[in-house]
Amino acid sequence: MPVKIEPVAKVFTIEQANAMLPLVRAITTDLTTLARDVVERRSRLAAFKSRKDQKAGDPYSDELASMQQAVAADAQRLQEYIDELRSLGLEPKGAVEGLVDFPSQLDGRVVYLCWKLGEAEVTHWHEVEAGFAGRQSLVAGAVAHAEDDFESFSEPADTHSDNSHPEQAD
């Protein structure tokens, strides 16, 4: 069954994506730190609950309820970080791993410029359906195809109707 692709509201060039990285990196660092903590605490809570008999009057029931509320509050904060990235036009793909996709265009089709926390800049892309496993190097793609293939990552047609890139003059 084909994957339904939703139209993207914003499309990024490589330069635009890299220019946004200081902000994206800050948000993603907070997101991954909190996500890893929430995953760990949920795991500990699940292990505790599986070993503990939850009877009425259990002296630890209040503490357990408090811990569950704290995890729920942090899960809400995680969603706020994700929403913040989405409000920038980005697609967060892995909270724990720090994966973020920037919608882009290549040869008239929507693709993702792919960045992972820890990478200095955006250097990979993938087809929308391929995901992280289908990442391809932007440089390798330029070498493997035509010389101008690298430059075909462009802004939407409505902003540069002639597909020229004055900032990329030879």
The one-letter code for the residue type at 24 is V
- Say how many residues make up the chain: 170
Is residue 90 helix, strand or coil? coil
* 3-state class (DSSP) for residue 14: helix
d(CA 111, CA 67) in angstroms, rounded, equals: 41
What's residue 48's pLDDT? Answer: 80
Tens-digit pLDDT profile for the chain (170 aa)?
Answer: 444 445 557 899 999 999 999 999 999 999 999 999 999 999 988 888 777 655 555 677 788 888 999 999 999 999 999 999 999 999 999 999 999 999 999 888 899 999 999 999 999 999 999 989 999 998 865 433 333 444 455 554 443 334 333 343 33
- Dist. CA 75–CA 72, nearest whole Å: 5
DSSP 160: S
Domain boundaries, the chain: 9-162
